[in-house]
Amino acid sequence: MPEFNRLTLVAAAEVVSDTHSHSEIDVIEVEWNLRSRGGGSKPDRIKNLSKAAIEETEEVYTKSGQVVIERALVERALAHWFEVRDKSSWRRLKAGLRFDGFEVVEPTEDGMFSRRLSREPATLIRMLPDTLPGLDMRQAQNEVDYLLSKHGLAIAAGHLSHAISAFQRGEWSGANGELRNFFENYLNEIAIKCGCDPSLDSKQKRDFLGKGVTPPFLLAEYNEWNENNGKPQYVQGLMSRMHPHGGHPGLSEEEDATFRLQISLVTARLFLRRLDRGIY
């Protein structure tokens, strides 16, 4: 699987467009041997950069050595972050990189009285180990998409698609709202598949998954569900976490939205795999 997703690479190309003149893009094309792709306007040339990063695997020379074009394009964008830090292209790039499993570090330097932003290139830190199976968010999304389609969970699939799109645009509130709907709806749809009365509300459907079907879909022994609402239970706890009242000072909307997306995908994968085993 490529290191970066398509929307990350398109956003990186947009950052390059926002920070480079035609003559500077000429230099990039010569350095990366891309001149044969043609296209005179800046949008055409940025489209060609994106396509090269997505489609081609050869290595090109950069300040950090020989790297594949997708990595070279992202590094070029990171080097010019300071010029676009308030633009939507930079927000989209950071959102895409988070989905790819990277934290973007915007450098700072010590001033006389406080720390200030530095014009040094931004850097990437991998959020999760890339050597452990099951942690890649794009792989999780692909599997969740497949299982939602396989089992006809169309309402939940629509909410997940909208959530991912909003997240990659940097629209954190919109992404959070769609993820709440996604979580609630795939459990509702699973409950109905297991024989639950469709007219029941969402809480009743979750209770059905815990005690109304044999064997239970939500497992009390794993603290996923419990008939006693006073006891810890994962599903209700996550539901509450996805429905906070207002923002919280000191917390980054971007970090919170990333957490919600990651935990939503790995949780959905767990429950959809359980559904897919064919017991229900």
Comparing 245 with 70, which gets the higher pLDDT?
70
pLDDT value of residue 115 = 67
Comparing 228 with 155, which gets the higher pLDDT?
155
Instruction: Give the separation between CA 10 and CA 26, rounded to whole angstroms.
Output: 18
Q: What does pLDDT average to over the chain?
A: 87
pLDDT value of residue 129 = 61
Closest CA to 20 of 83, 87, 104: 83
Q: Do 262 and 101 touch, CB atoms closer than 8 A?
A: no
pLDDT value of residue 252 = 73
Comparing 277 with 46, which gets the higher pLDDT?
277
Indicate whether 135 pLDDT > 70: no
pLDDT value of residue 110 = 63
Indicate whether 137 pLDDT > 90: no
Three-state DSSP at 105 gives strand
Which run of H or E residues covers position 60?
A: strand 59-62
Q: What is the pLDDT of residues 176-185, one digit of tens each?
A: 999 999 999 9
**Entry pTM:** 0.74
Residue 110 DSSP symbol:
E
Q: How far is CA 53 from the centre of its chain?
A: 19
Q: What is the pLDDT of residues 49-71, one digit of tens each?
A: 899 999 988 898 888 889 999 99
pLDDT value of residue 122 = 93
Q: What is the pLDDT of residues 247-268, one digit of tens each?
A: 555 557 888 888 899 899 999 9
Q: What is the pLDDT of residues 159-208, one digit of tens each?
A: 999 999 898 888 888 999 999 999 999 999 999 999 999 999 999 999 99
Please write down the long-range contacts of 107-113, taking CB distance under 8 Å and 24 or more positions apart: none
Instruction: Give the separation between CA 123 and CA 130, rounded to whole angstroms.
Output: 17
Beta-bridge partner residues of 124: 104
